[in-house]
Structure 1
Amino acid sequence: MANREALRELQTRLASRLQAARSGDVSVAWLAVKAGESNYLFPLAQSGEIFPLTNVQVVPYCRQWFMGVVNLRGGLFGVVDLASFMSGGSTRGRTEQSLAESSVITINSALELNCALMVDGLAGLRKRDAFAGAEAPPEGSPVFFGTRFTDRDGAHWQEINLQSLSQLPEFLSISA
């Protein structure tokens, strides 16, 4: 129970910082998330709101990485398990505990796609100066991969261009 409250507090703090970053002259560039074993950076201008993962309604005959739909603030959003989408794997096999600790991040409404990405963890907001190095994405990477950053601890963070992802035919085609 304490973990849920801590997660809600983190989500509330991140949501208020996201709003402040969008409205002010703050030099925050990304929302940092963890999905599976990977670290990702979502550009703030392309990211939407953060919600806890709750009440996902399963949709039959969909790809394994498409978890279903959820009602967020009165809008119907498709939920994509980001780790499964990236690996081509399945959303099955996750424990109830891991799902309870997961969050969904909507894609900015300006991109006109009612979609939310399920992530395993939130890692806060990042500025460019939080990273020690940057390099082009590895050869053969998906078109939505942006710069690959390395933080001061040596961890790699892959920037995801949510606009490019949201236009990708493979992402838009959820039928199995």
Structure 2
Amino acid sequence: MAKSSNLREFQEAILAKLKDAANQVGVESSSRLGVVVGSKKYLVRLNEVREVLPVPPIVAVPLTKSWFLGTTNVRGNLYNVSDLAQFLEMPPTHKSVHNRILLLSTDTTSQVALLVDGLLGLRSLQEMQIETLDEDSQKYFAKQKLVDDEKNQWLELDTESLVQDKNFIQPI
């Protein structure tokens, strides 16, 4: 029971910080949400994530790409759910209690949900070094490549490019 309450407190703290960041319009935050996608660690700008949720029931849509998982209803709003790892040509996300969906909030679209392997919490860009963005990283929709003090490599997800990608827009 203690583990589930700790997890709930962790999620509530992240959601509170996401809401605070969203309320600071025009202020660029150095904090990013760290997530695991397949074998990679990603950073997502806080103002590009509307909400982080445990994986809700998803209704499959026939005749679509395997990475397009289907549609889900979140408080009366329909979201298209995609397995980000599989879209990026990594193995499909292994289903576990740690999986989460990120409800994106971008200038282009607002009905996109991404399935990720799990959350790694908030990360500060001030504690990381920027590395040269190589061609391999660019195919993973990375804005920039960073390395933290523990030598972990991170990719900052370019959500705008992702949701505007012709393959992502048309999952048929």
Is 2:60–2:69's contact at 8 Å kept on the other side of the alignment? yes
Q: How does 1:33-112 map to 2 (within 5 A)?
A: 33-87=35-89, 89-90=91-92, 94-95=94-95, 98=96, 100-108=97-105, 110-112=107-109
Q: Does 1:135 align with 2:131?
A: yes
* TM superposition score normalised by structure 1: 0.85
Higher mean C-alpha displacement, 12-21 vs 142-151: 142-151
Deviation at 1:142, TM superposition (A): 2.5
Report the 3-state secondary structure (helix = DSSP H, G, I; strand = E; otherwise coil) of the residue aligned with 2:145: strand
- Aligned-pair Cα RMSD in Å: 2.1
State the distance in 2 between where 1:37 and 1:72 align. 28
Q: Which moved more, 1:72-81 or 1:106-115?
A: 106-115
Aligned-partner Cα distance in 1 for 2:86–2:107? 25
Rounded to whole Å, the distance in 2 between the matches of 1:22 and 1:162 is 16
What SS does structure 1 have at the residue aligned with 2:60?
coil
Tell me if the contact between 2:22 and 2:46 (Cα under 8 Å) persists in the aligned partners.
Answer: yes
CA contact (8 A) 1:7 1:101 kept: no
* Pairwise CA distance, 1:174: 0.9
Residue 143 of structure 1, CA deviation: 7.8
Distance 1:36 1:88 in 2: 6
User: Does the Cα contact within 8 Å between 2:69 and 2:83 map onto a contact in 1?
Assistant: yes
TM-score (normalised: structure 2): 0.86
**Identical pairs, percent:** 31
Whether the aligned pair in 2 keeps the contact of 1:149 and 1:156 (CA below 8 Å) is: yes
How many residues align structurally?
169
Whether 1:172 aligns to 2:169 is yes
Q: Once structures 1 and 2 are overlaid, which stretch shifts more, 161-170 or 44-53?
A: 44-53
The structural deviation recorded for 1:5 is: 4.1
Query: Which whole-Å CA distance do the structure 2 matches of 1:39 and 1:122 have between them?
Result: 10
Native 8 Å contact 2:106 2:159 kept in 1: no
- Deviation track 1:33-61 (CA, whole Å, cap 9, x = no partner) reads 11121100112222221111021111111
Unaligned stretches of 5+ in structure 2? none
User: Would the alpha carbon gap of residues 55 and 143 (structure 1) be closer, same or farther in structure 2, given more than 3 Å must change?
Assistant: closer
Deviations along 1:72-111, one digit per CA (max 9) or x if unpaired, are: 12110011111111125445xx34xx1x321100110543
SS in 2 for 1:54: coil
Q: Is the 8 A contact 1:4 1:101 kept in 2?
A: no
